[in-house]
A and B are shown apart, each in its own frame.
Chain A
Amino acid sequence: MSRRLDDTDRRLVLATQDGLPLVPRPYHQLAAQLGIAPSEVMERLLRMLARGIIRRIGAVPNHYAIGYTANGMSVWDVPDELIDELGARVGELDFVTHCYHRPRRLPEWPYNLFAMVHGASRDEVLHQVDEIARLLGAASRAHDVLFSTEILKKTGLRIGG
């Protein structure tokens, strides 16, 4: 698959992409599965964490289940020469969970800054979007908010076996 993963790393990805084993010694179970030492499993996971191949090990909550029933993808048209400075400031807001520079798709799509906002209600999200609008001021030439109304699929990364 990749220049950066060796075969054992790749088998470790395959063995954990559905989740970590829910047993007292999960890394030992993976070691037995892969036929390597538990210490090697732990070392490899630590190395993948250090290299950013693993962002973190942890739980992904369903936003709706933990009270964030509204999520809005706010999108903004800001001048390209200002986007890095503005993107960094928007990304610092505590209610913004993801913030990216993405290409425009003219004429249908004039927006180049994407900031995902989560809240307990649509009103709360709109209020947060107003806060972003104030921060951006005149630099924002247009914006929109796209609320998710249905999760159609959510499986996360799957690589082939």
Chain B
Amino acid sequence: MPEPAFIDEVDRALIDHLQGGFPICEEPYAEVAGWLGIGEAELLERIERLLATRVLTRFGPMFQVEQMGGAFVLAAMAVPDADWRRVRALVDSLPEVAHNYRRESERHTPFNMWFVLATESEEGIAAALRRIEEGSGLPVYAFPKRREYFVEMKLGVRR
């Protein structure tokens, strides 16, 4: 895993602030800059730098694909080491794959590749799962959510 990036106190405050609701008004950056006690131009430069250095992976609206009539499904595979590169390339190449993580179990779970499919329709999920199964020759296990108890990706910056 990469080392945590160098970020200063203002960056920390900015990241903490920007995880919440960004204003919808004529000059939203000026408003946020005011909260942080910096200028608008400095705020824009900092956001650009944090995106360029991948401290932030994204800045903008977070869409809930299910609310648009689409689907979002977690899926997993048990990929043998010998097949890893080939299967990874296949899975990563699909635009429907929003993220993909390698995971190691503390116990004996064989599933080591975990990805999320986001598509504009329910049917899109089944089609993507089929393409991965046919392309890899391995079974894909889908874990559609039955119920969501809590989702709030809001983590304070660690010091």
The chain A residues found within 8 Å of chain B, CB to CB, are 1-5, 13, 16-20, 22-28, 38, 42, 45-46, 48-49, 51-69, 73, 83-84, 87-88, 90-92, 96-103, 105, 108-109, 114, 118, 120, 126, 144-160
Contacts and interface: CB of A to CB of B under 8 A. Distances in A.
A1 B120 contact: yes
A156 B99 contact: yes
Given A59-B19, A67-B4, A152 B101 contact: yes
Q: Which secondary structure characterizes the binding site on chain B?
A: mixed
Interface string B126-141: 0000000000000001
Contacts of B18: 58-59
Nearest to B54: A62
B103 interface: yes
B68 interface: yes
Contacts of A83: 147
B22 A58 contact: yes
B61 A54 contact: yes
A151 B114 CA distance: 10
A83 B75 CA distance: 21
A62 B18 CA distance: 13
Contacts of A62: 5, 54-57
Contacts of B56: 59-62
Interface in B6-20: 7, 12, 15, 18-20
A18 B147 contact: no
User: Interface size class for chain B?
Assistant: 35 or more
B101 A150 contact: yes
A144 B106 contact: yes
List of 4 A-B pairs having minimum Cβ-Cβ separation, nearest first: A67-B158, A91-B150, A2-B69, A91-B149
Contacts of A149: 1, 102-104
A58 B155 contact: no
Contacts of B110: 108
A136 to B, nearest CB: 13
A151 B60 contact: no
Contacts of B1: 64, 69, 149-150
Contacts of B69: 1-5
A2 B70 CA distance: 7
A98 B151 contact: yes
A127 to B, nearest CB: 13
Contact of B99 (A2, A59, A68, A154): A154
B150 A2 contact: no
B22 A99 contact: no
Given A19-B59, A64-B4, A99 B20 contact: no
Contacts of B65: 157
Contacts of B40: 24
B26 A102 contact: no
